[in-house]
Amino acid sequence: MTGERTGETVDEAQEWLATITQGERWRDHHHAPLRPVPQTMSMSLAAVPESVREARDFARTVLYSWDLAGMFDDVRLVVSELVTNALRYSAGNPACGSTPIRLSLLRTGGRLTCAVTDPCDQIPVHRDPDSSSQSGRGLHLVEAFSHSWNWAPLSSQGKVVWACFLCPDC
Q: Looking at residue 168, what is its pLDDT?
A: 79
Stated as kind and residue range, the H or E segment containing 72 is helix 72-90
Q: Looking at residue 47, what is its pLDDT?
A: 85
pLDDT in tens, 16-65: 564 544 443 334 444 444 444 448 999 999 888 899 999 999 999 999 99
Strand duo 159-166 + 148-153: pairing: antiparallel
At residue 41, φ and ψ (nearest 5 deg) are -135, 135
The predicted model gives 155-168 an average pLDDT of 87
Residue type, 113: T
149-159: burial string, b at 16+ Cβ within 10 Å, e else: bbbbebeeebb
Question: Which residues face 157 on adjacent strands?
Answer: none
pLDDT in tens, 68-109: 999 999 999 999 999 999 998 777 666 665 667 899 999 987
pTM (2 d.p.): 0.74
Q: Looking at residue 8, what is its pLDDT?
A: 44
Least reliable range by pLDDT among 33-37, 104-108, 128-132, 135-139: 33-37
Residue-range domain boundaries for the chain: 10-21+40-166
Cα–Cα distance measured from residue 38 to residue 90, given in angstroms and rounded to the nearest whole number: 30
The predicted model gives 131-137 an average pLDDT of 55
Q: Is 59 helix (H, G, I), strand (E, B) or coil?
A: helix
CATH number of the 10-21+40-166 domain: 3.30.565.10
More confident residue, 134 or 23: 134
For 18, other C-beta atoms within 10 Å of its C-beta total: 17
Residue 148 has pLDDT above 70, yes or no: yes
Beta strands in the chain (DSSP E): 40-45, 101-108, 111-118, 148-153, 159-166
- CB of 40 closer than 8 Å to CB of 104: yes
25-52: burial string, b at 16+ Cβ within 10 Å, e else: ebebeeeeeeeeeebbbbbebebeeebb
Beta strands in 1-127 (DSSP E): 40-45, 101-108, 111-118
Question: Which residues face 106 on adjacent strands?
Answer: 40, 113
